[in-house]
């Protein structure tokens, strides 16, 4: 099995069909690569496959499997899901935190404007987009920024950035000990030792954030007096009413889940979208024309404009179809014997859904490898054909936030700047290694302020 794994599994599905089984060491694995197979499983056996595999190495970064992403299906998981739906990702909460997203988008525009105000300038986009997504999530979570020029010299911010980088590196690495049990006895590759060390450091950072919030005046921080509460503020309020359940460990696990699931996924999607637009300037022109017609040239587009920009949403959907941030949906595991597509599947089988293969299946999509946002204008039911945020009861609860972050960033970049490739060569669209399918080569592009937007940008 060579990287990228989603391509290796697609090649196997071409040989063995859309439903087949493998063994990853001691673990039986069921792989699904067609909409009909996915529909059959999730319409009949969603509850049986509602668990997550318990990878021994992952316990360090999931607070012993108590986080939303790693917890087994049951009362605790349902409570975390309810908490995320009501306290973190509800429309009311997202609307209350609108200012954070707009401020960070404008910080990105200000940075680009300073670098390109004298004409076309080459910019490296990956780091800028990562800063955007991390600052949005961290400000939602704690009210603090950790990325950008104004915090570069902060020791706390610098150490935090290193920890985040280490966590993503380890999260994307398969630990052989998770699949071949005897390798755990010797900690093959020292993965668990590294995870344990990093977890202790991150735990100390997160505990510091909680203690800092707790030490603030409760009237000011939790009852806010007009100030928007952070996620930690909200969870400390819940802790007051139920301290036994909403422990500091539960709060830290929720913060870590937000960081790992809500940051890299958004920035990678924006980077893929801009890469595709640079390779298809006609699509970029059409998106800009829609923006100019709806928003005009006297103000910056904001989130309230997104619902009036259907072509932009088509671009986002088409980007997620071609380059889903989760090419293999987060693994599930069966809790009982069942039948899938006419085949017997044993309890304890790990499930991998190859969303990347389904999104590019010529039996499902016309001209599947082409970038054609217009295909989403039809408005037909995309269930089981299009699943960038997962499917079933364990699908991603943060899809609404992700669409807002990606949409706001793209409208800002398209409205305010002219974009061209750094050479006549097309932007490389090959995938790199990692859970969120990053680009193998970080995006570099040439940008300059649009003349009609210079006055608006100058006021930032």
pLDDT tens column, 22-39 = 999 889 999 999 999 999
- The reported pLDDT for the residue numbered 225 is 52
Helical spans, DSSP H, in 143-227? 155-171, 182-185, 191-215, 218-221
What confidence tier does 419 reach under pLDDT thresholds 50, 70, 90? Answer: very high
Instruction: Pick the more confident residue, 179 or 446.
Output: 446
**Residue 121: its H or E element:** strand 121-124
Q: Which phi and psi (to 5°) does residue 21 adopt?
A: -120, 150
Q: What angle do CA 330, 331, 337 make, to 5 degrees?
A: 145
Rounded (10°) angle between helices 264-279 and 399-416:
40
- The reported pLDDT for the residue numbered 136 is 95
Q: Which phi and psi (to 5°) does residue 24 adopt?
A: -100, 90
Q: What pTM was estimated for this model as a whole? A: 0.94
What confidence tier does 13 reach under pLDDT thresholds 50, 70, 90? Answer: very high
Query: Could you report the per-residue pLDDT of 137-152, keeping only the tens digit for each?
Result: 999 999 988 877 667 6
- The reported pLDDT for the residue numbered 55 is 87
Rounded (10°) angle between helices 125-142 and 248-262:
150
Q: Which residues contact 167 (CB under 8 A, 6 or more apart)?
A: 61, 198, 202, 259, 260
Give the Cα separation of 163 and 405 in Å (integer). Answer: 23
Determine if the peptide bond prior to 4 is cis (ω within 30°): yes
Distance in Å from the first CA to the final CA of the chain = 50
Give the Cα separation of 232 and 256 in Å (integer). Answer: 12
Q: Which phi and psi (to 5°) does residue 240 adopt?
A: -60, -40
What DSSP assignment string belongs to 291-359? Answer: HHHHH-SSS---GGGGGG-HHHHHHHHHHHHHS-S-SBPPPEE-SS-EEETTEEE-TT-EEEEBHHHHH
Torsion-angle region of 65 (φ positive above 0: left; ψ -120 to 50: alpha; else: beta) = left
Instruction: Pick the more confident residue, 334 or 146.
Output: 334
Q: Averaged over 121-129, what is the pLDDT?
A: 95
Instruction: Pick the more confident residue, 352 or 149.
Output: 352
Mean pLDDT over the full length of the chain: 91
- The reported pLDDT for the residue numbered 61 is 86
Give the Cα separation of 126 and 133 in Å (integer). Answer: 11
Q: Averaged over 247-272, what is the pLDDT?
A: 93
- The reported pLDDT for the residue numbered 424 is 96
What confidence tier does 227 reach under pLDDT thresholds 50, 70, 90? Answer: low
What confidence tier does 221 reach under pLDDT thresholds 50, 70, 90? Answer: very low
Q: 426 pLDDT exceeds 90?
A: yes
Query: Could you report the per-residue pLDDT of 311-320, keeping only the tens digit for each?
Result: 999 999 999 9
Domains of the chain: 5-458 (1.10.630.10)
Q: Which of 42-51, 117-126, 276-285, 435-444 has the lowest mean pLDDT?
A: 435-444
């Amino acid at each position: 099995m060579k990287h990228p794994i989603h391509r290796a599994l697609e090649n196997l599905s071409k040989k063995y069909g859309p439903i087949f089984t493998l063994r990853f060491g001691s673990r039986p694995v069921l792989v699904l690569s067609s909409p009909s197979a996915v529909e059959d499983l999730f319409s009949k056996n969603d509850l049986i496959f509602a668990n997550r595999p318990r990878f021994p190495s992952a316990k360090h970064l999931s607070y012993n499997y108590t986080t939303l992403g790693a917890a087994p299906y049951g009362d605790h998981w349902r409570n975390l899901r309810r908490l995320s739906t009501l306290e973190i990702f509800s429309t009311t909460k997202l609307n209350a935190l609108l200012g954070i997203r707009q401020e960070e988008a404008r910080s990105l525009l200000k940075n680009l404007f300073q670098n390109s105000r004298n004409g076309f300038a080459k910019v490296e986009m990956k780091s800028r987009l990562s800063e955007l997504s991390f600052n949005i999530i961290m400000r939602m979570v704690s009210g603090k920024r950790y990325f950008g020029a104004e915090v570069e010299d902060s020791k706390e911010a610098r150490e935090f950035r290193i920890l985040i980088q280490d966590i993503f590196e380890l999260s994307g690495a398969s630990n052989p000990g998770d699949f071949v049990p005897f390798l755990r006895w010797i900690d093959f590759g020292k993965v668990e030792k590294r995870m344990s060390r990093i977890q202790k450091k991150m735990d100390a950072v997160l505990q510091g954030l909680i203690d800092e919030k707790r030490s603030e005046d409760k009237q000011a921080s939790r009852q806010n007096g007009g100030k928007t509460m952070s996620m930690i503020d909200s969870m400390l309020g819940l802790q007051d009413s139920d301290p036994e359940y909403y422990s500091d460990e539960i709060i830290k696990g929720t913060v870590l889940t937000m960081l790992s699931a809500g940051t890299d996924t958004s920035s990678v999607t924006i980077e893929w979208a801009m890469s595709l637009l640079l390779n298809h300037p006609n699509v970029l022109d059409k998106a800009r024309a829609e923006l100019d017609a709806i928003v005009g040239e006297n103000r910056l587009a904001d989130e309230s404009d997104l619902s009036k920009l259907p072509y932009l949403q088509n671009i986002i959907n088409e980007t997620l179809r071609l380059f889903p941030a989760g090419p293999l949906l987060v693994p599930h595991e069966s809790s009982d014997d069942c039948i899938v597509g006419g085949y017997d599947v044993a309890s304890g089988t790990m499930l991998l859904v190859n969303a990347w293969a389904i999104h590019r299946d010529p039996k499902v999509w016309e001209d599947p490898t082409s970038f054609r946002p217009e295909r989403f204008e039809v408005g037909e039911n995309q269930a089981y054909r299009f699943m960038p945020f997962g499917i079933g009861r364990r699908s991603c609860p943060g899809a609404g936030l992700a669409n807002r972050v990606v949409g706001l960033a793209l409208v800002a970049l398209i409205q305010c700047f002219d974009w061209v490739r750094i050479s006549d060569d097309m932007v490389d669209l090959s995938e790199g290694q990692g859970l969120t399918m990053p680009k193998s080569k970080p995006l570099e592009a040439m940008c300059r302020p649009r003349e009609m937007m210079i006055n608006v940008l100058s006021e930032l």
